[in-house]
Structure 1
């Protein structure tokens, strides 16, 4: 084992990886948002609802296609002996899931109450099969903290999706255009990963390594599946209760509410997993999580507060007046979106600590609580009920269970709860001021600008010095160690 100093190569790679990851995901989110705006202007809500059904199915199955194999490679002391076996398992799983998606397209579409989605679901199955090729090269880049390379590859994938989708939409193709764009995106990413890592697909199978990987991966795969199922069952409930058009509105609101998760969560996750896994001791690993909480809560609350307070002007000014009903769901979903950043960090920490079964247990309880609550929320309060149901379940069920799981690995609940008091209490006066300003009846552009100014003036600026002090503590944490065999 070799340990880096604070100025050594590992600390520098972690810092650069986080910088590239955060900057890259923000850039990708901006690109995705701009693309979404174009799509919203060109595609009617009912057509987007048809695509949303296929996207829901694709999201669930793509999560299962990974099977947690990428995380297993990132955690391994030496990934190269495992890579051919993992590649074979991953490709076999993804192709099988793609075939299943094709064969089950009709009953799935009928379950959503959207028979028009059959062909779109079948098209999306192609990208599931392609996904299997990306697991090993993506893990190589993640292990090496090469977030700049991952950003470039994903940017090319997004560009391919935009070109293909918009070309077909302008040519008169409906929801199928977006599915073809997804296929183009996944194909470009797969090719780009192999080009950048200077490798080719290499298959093999070692029964002992396969068993070892699956012991770690299967609970994680089940947990990931349940996690995305949580973010998809609401689509099913909304579609069956309120119809595909309302589903299109809800998915748009959910996509906006995911901005904090997309900008922060994705960037932090790919750096946090190797960093926590390679920590020099369990004490350093645990201290790292505690020090992450305060700055992360502050930033995620800032973003989600702004989204919730400016829901109506944000939706109508960017996407058009016909999407205004989506704002009803966005208010609660924005709060949920901020909480997802923190929950994802905790789950990543537990995976790095080898506690995949604890993550699975939380996801099972989450699903069991969310389904009846979502049915009640949607039935009684429509889209608004769907958004706030997520928040209620997180507070009542998910947070207590994660605190219990963290307690078992040596982090008392009080150590995690104390850092969140200041940023959450500070959000209260800012939220009250935003509600008051929204009630003045100003035009939408003025409301959007005013809410942004209030959030910055009453929340962001007062907490800036406090946030910087906590972030400095995190940067001074003892560095991680690097297992021998880790690629540079």
Structure 2
């Protein structure tokens, strides 16, 4: 890709810039605003779709998204991370663009050719056409790796928000028009491709780059040496997030998968927002901050202080939440949501730890941890889904996270100089403050019979209790992240 001259955003991102903390903080604010608004929009669209589609149809689309999500990670090849961390992004950009084009094209062709067998392998051949259509997003994502990476590098979160907003509008409009025309589940796939085409085009415009390809023989080996382990780790992360879908589709069927995916999606409402903010800000921040090991406990405490109460409160309010928003036909999703609240909170912290290690160039440790976790998770999923259905599958996520994944990450980051004692102390107060907030939500559910009132009172009560304990503490920590660490 050809690049224009460096912008002011590039300059403020330099390692020696005293404004790095403030720039990252502004980016985090825009990322947070973006993900909250977009997540709210996606939730509203999801509510309408859940009312229109049956659990079986919802499950079919989930099968297609499982394939698309895993392959989308492969299409990136970890190349956007190379753009973010490189000291000379303008020099590596043509090489990155070439690898992205090759990867996206190859995966699209292969997925279209194998869409039928993939759908059958996942338990329902009817998902084949949706998989084939969604594969086009792999090509579009591969082509737009460079502008996307540059926007993250420059903390252009406001522009990314606007692009994502357009993406949501296009996807929603196309989907509902095609549903009205009678295309059913295929409408969602076509809507996603249309939105990806528009957002990829807008990324080129916002990053002010134009397509240009080439291969720098002095750099391509180094680019792949850094990027491929990250691609592998990202792939295994996606597999970890989707292996349950594969097992449930095979062992319990598309209808059960529909119930499970709905509960999983609700549990990830706030977590997806926080994870997006972490992924967009943490790596460029950590890669430039003076003392990355010293900064991690502070960053972790701030993220944990938002993720833990959100996940636990969702779990506590699972029953009224599902009944009020989605309707009684989705009641089997309630115990899934109740189990996955804590898992969602932990997943945000895992994203932060992974971004920290990527910034230090230590992606191999993350890769091996993901490989071992897949073995543990897959084995547990097969055993628990067979015996306890979708609820057993949900609890496997929680158990694997607490017993295996968290200790694994702590062991890896300890080797980078992070003091685990400081990390634990930083997270203690948010953990303790979450207890009374959770009790307030549970009390509302048990004492109030009307689901709508229980949901409103329980949610408001949990937020009020938590902010009363943690409000000043959280603001102080945010100021500290913005300040001396970035000097």
Q: Note whether the superposition's TM-score is higher than 0.5.
A: yes
1:294 aligns with 301
Q: How does 1:259-274 map to 2 (within 5 A)?
A: 259-274=269-284
Shift of 1:170: 1.3
1:27 aligns with 2:50: no
Secondary structure of residue in 1 paired with 2:289: coil
Q: Does structure 1 residue 379 correspond to structure 2 residue 392?
A: no
Q: Which residue of 2 aligns with 1:317?
A: 324
8 Å contact from structure 1 (residues 259, 337) kept in 2: no
Moved more, 456-465 or 380-389: 456-465
Check conservation: 2:42, 2:168, Cα contact below 8 A: yes
Q: Which residue of 2 is the match for residue 74 of structure 1?
A: 84
1:298 Cα offset (Å): 1.4
- Any unmatched runs of 5+ in structure 1? 481-488
**C-alpha distance in structure 1 between counterparts of 2:400 and 2:133, whole Å:** 34
- The corresponding residue for 1:175 is 185
Query: How far does residue 150 in structure 1 lie from its aligned partner after superposition?
Result: 0.9
Contact 1:60–1:228 (Cα < 8 Å) also in 2: yes
Q: Does the Cα contact within 8 Å between 1:305 and 1:455 map onto a contact in 2?
A: no
User: Which segment drifts farther, 349-358 or 201-210?
Assistant: 201-210
Equivalent-residue separation in structure 1 for 2:437 and 2:85 (angstroms): 41
Q: Answer with 423-432 or 121-130: which moved more.
A: 423-432
Q: Secondary structure at the match of 2:135?
A: helix
Q: What stretches of structure 2 of length at least 5 have no aligned partner?
A: 1-13
Structure 1 counterpart of 2:333: 326
How far apart, CA to CA, are the structure 2 residues paired with 1:380 and 1:314?
A: 27
For residue 463 of structure 1, give the secondary structure of its aligned residue in structure 2.
helix
Question: How many Å apart are 1:24 and its aligned residue?
Answer: 0.9
- Render the CA deviation track for 1:280-310: whole Å, top value 9, x for unaligned: 3xxx211221111222111111211221111
Tell me which moved more, 441-450 or 469-478.
Answer: 469-478
State how far apart, in whole Å, the 2-side matches of 1:430 and 1:196 are.
Answer: 42
- Deviation by residue 1:175-194 (Cα, 9 ceiling, x = unmatched): 10000011011101111011
CA contact (8 A) 1:60 1:225 kept: yes
State the SS of the aligned residue for 1:4: coil
What residue is the counterpart of 1:241 in the other structure?
Answer: 251
Deviation at 1:438, TM superposition (A): 2.5
Q: Output the CA distance in 1 between the equivalents of 2:289 and 2:429.
A: 28
Equivalent-residue separation in structure 2 for 1:12 and 1:219 (angstroms): 31
Separation in structure 1 between the aligned mates of residue 357 and residue 309 of structure 2, nearest angstrom = 26
- How far off its partner does 1:433 sit? 4.4
Paired residues in the alignment total: 474
Deviations 1:251-307 (A, max 9, x none): 111111112222111012211111111123xxx211221111222111111211221
TM-score of the two chains, using structure 1 as the length reference: 0.94
Query: Cα deviation per residue 1:402-458 (whole Å; 9 max; x = unaligned)?
Result: 111111110122121222222223323433443344233611112111221331243
Match of 2:143 among 97, 117, 133: 133
Distance 2:449 2:276 in 1: 36
Q: Is the 8 A contact 1:73 1:82 kept in 2?
A: yes
Distance in 1 (CA, whole Å) between partners of 2:346 and 2:270 is 9
What does residue 253 of structure 1 align with? 263
Contact 1:404 1:413 (8 Å CA) reproduced: no
Q: Distance in 2 between matches of 1:250 and 1:207?
A: 48
> CA RMSD for the aligned pairs?
1.5
2: distance between equivalents of 1:199 and 1:469?
39
Query: In structure 1, how many angstroms separate the alpha carbons of the residues matched to 2:101 and 2:264?
Result: 30
Counterpart secondary structure, 1:104 = helix
Once the two structures are TM-superposed, the CA of residue 75 in structure 1 deviates from its matched residue by 0.4
Match of 2:342 in 1: 335
What secondary structure, in the 3-state scheme, does the structure 2 residue paired with 1:397 have?
A: helix
Q: Structure 1 residue 198: deviation in Å? A: 2.5
Asked if the contact 1:260/1:338 (under 8 Å) is kept, the reply is: no
Q: Does the 8 A contact of 1:276 with 1:285 survive in 2?
A: yes
- Please name the residue that 2:217 is paired with: 207
Q: 1:455 aligns with which of 436, 450, 462?
A: 462
Query: In structure 2, what is the Cα distance between the partners aligned to 1:43 and 1:397?
Result: 37
Residue 136 (structure 1) shift: 0.2
2:425 counterpart of 1:418: yes
The verdict on how the C-alpha distance between 1:295 and 1:198 changes in structure 2, with shifts beyond 3 A counting, is: closer
Contact 2:282 2:355 in 1 (8 A): yes
Corresponding residue SS for 2:469: coil
Counterpart of 1:15 in 2: which secondary structure? helix
1:2 to partner: Cα distance: 6.5
Aligned CA distance change for structure 1 residues 59 and 415 (closer, same or farther; 3 Å): same
CA contact (8 A) 1:164 1:181 kept: yes
